[in-house]
Structure 1
Amino acid sequence: MGPLAGIRILDLTTVVMGPYATSVLGDMGAEVIKVESPEGDILRQVGPSRSGEMGGLFLHANRSKRSIVLDLKRPEARAALLKLAESADVLIHNLRPQAMARLGLDYAALAAVNPAIIHAGAFGFGQDGPYAARPAYDDLMQGIAGIPSLMAQSGGGTPRYVPVNIADRIVGLHAAIAVLGALQHRSRTGEGQSIEIPMFETMASFVLGDHLGGMTHRPALDQGGYARLLTPNRRPYATADGHLCVLIYNDKHWRSFFGAIDRPDLAADPRFASHASRIRHTDAICAELAAILATRPTAEWEVLLDAAGIPHTPLHTLDSLVEDPHLAAVGFFTEEDHPAEGPVRGMKVASRWSASQPEPSRLAPRLGEHTAEILREAGLSEAEIAAATAPPG
């Protein structure tokens, strides 16, 4: 019984952003009903799978859910969804508001059958601006938020996307947080509401929190950008036989490091004297550190840095990450048998709760696996279920 036990969520989202948000809420105990078109969420087709409909991305983003298939362009299916909405706490979607209105599923339509419902939309842009109707995908949101330009500025010269669906997952987390806040508001007031979570504005805030810098001040004190994050030398350091991630951050770290490598000359260098000075000379300092770390093998540095209390970690690959001994010790990975996919590896909820531990309630569903079950629970007759799920024509 997680902290959201008793909360029912209608999930009209697809791909990564929305499904990730609702999986977080589902792991917290909410009952999540994933509403899919007859074709299914396109994410089902991404990556290898035994069944052909559930790759790793889909499995991880859609656990703790049941699946119902409804063609919401059909009036019978729309009526069935509105029937489900009568007992739902939240409806979350990632369609543009105009599309939801065309389907007759905008906030006004949902509030008419359930005034307490929370209607949350996560989509590209705030609806008051000129970009309102534009489509939005992770790559596009990374680009318009300036991330590829920052990647180019920090090394390599060529703009590149971060090789993670970072915009989808960041905005997905913001969507989950917004739903939690709205549920808390409703618990105090009884009032439902409509929430919009725009990707562009969310990602602009995320990026500029680090990089607005002196442009925060009016007039601007600099051209923005956090120098420590933008230096081309901020990267895993090459050792004599591999790589190591090292962060020598505060005054104590630097004093300890210089003592460990017997470099009193650097300890006396004014560039290293304070955090502010190190930030001003971050390029040169990172280059100096890179030259030092290249002189010894990784294992030797790990022993020395441990003894000196210097923060460091291995540089993992995907192969070594799944074999990490810490993750094994905390039981991070699970092994389960999926009815369609066979043996699969799962991941536990990372946070640890003393009273109401979140955990996945079920593996990701097959397409439409629970359609009839859910509609019966909503009180639809067999004839109504047949009408709501009939194929076109």
Structure 2
Amino acid sequence: MTNTSQPAILVLADGRSFRGLGFGATGTTLGEAVFTTAMTGYQETMTDPSYHRQIVVTTAPHIGNTGWNDEDNESNGGNIWVAGLVIRNLSHRVSNWRSERSLEEEMVAQGIVGIQGVDTRTLVRHLRNEGSIAAGIFSGDAAKRPVEELVEEVKAQDSMAGADLSAEVSTDEVYTIPVEGEKKFTVVAYDMGIKLSTPRHFAQRGIETIVVPSGTSFADIQQYNPDGVFVSNGPGDPATADGAVAFIREVLAAKIPFFGICFGNQLLGRALGLETYKMKFGHRGINVPVKNHLSGKIDITSQNHGFALAMPTDNPGEEFSTDFGPAHVTHTCLNDGTVEGVALSNGLAYSVQYHPESAAGPHDANPLFDQFIDLMSNNASTTK
């Protein structure tokens, strides 16, 4: 059943509102309004746990063309994690040989509220100028309530700043992703909101991945005798993740090879003594240029983050002191200079803010997985 004839309204906490038509489930949803510049990959975006509690606005005007399938989900179980979806036009027809149903059918099945017919150019310009903001989508009878009343409901929700959300999206139980072919290494992956494509990349490279809940202690993972430790992407404010920072410091002290992505980058940075901050509107898209200050190479990357590490030095690439030896910023965003990667100078720990594993985006950063293989190989040879 579709709901595209239902009235709907998007309300922002600053009083701006945008009327349109509902699609997906009918009702109310609250979250932080953010925008993505990706021209494709809406299924990967919507099932990415990093988007938990966020209402996503698409800059691409036509959404739903490729429908929905059971292969491209980024969450374990295929759950949609976005709080809501705001688009200009919903495709009336699905045209993709891999499609199994429409976008709207999946949103109805999972209870996800959306709004279409919005002037997304005006909305995205507002979010770009004013910053990401608390918002709500109200459809059906909820859209008929006074706007002033809806604004107060939107403003009453919890802020993303200070939100500790990893436990809400992490696995409850340990599970293992086996290798494809010959096993080379065992990696413990902390699920802070892990995307399924990450252990797939590991499996293709002969890495058995043991996925553990976000709150797992360092003592608990020692039973697996891991060759490396990985910390995934995930939602929430990294400033709240003191427990995760503590176990990363134990990993670094034990000199176990470490790799982090997105939230994992922010947590490694905190473990090295860096501060984090909430960005004005963040980076969300599959076309973000990043410079590698070690090689000079520029990668086009897939990103989704609203928090970032503070730059520790005047010049990217310049070393700074940590409790585990010198470290340096390895990558920065060419759009705004944001820190996009940090590493210990001895090579035992590194992380990036962007997503080298993202299936819907570019493949420029895939060698970062091979770098992890090399790191574990070198560490194994030096510790024998």
Q: What TM-score, normalized by structure 2, do the two folds share?
A: 0.22
Give the number of the structure whose residues are more often helix, by fraction. 1
Structure showing greater relative contact order (alpha-carbon pairs closer than 8 Å, 6 or more residues apart): 1
Give the number of the structure whose residues are more often strand, by fraction. 2
Which structure has the greater CA radius of gyration? 1
Q: What TM-score, normalized by structure 1, do the two folds share?
A: 0.22
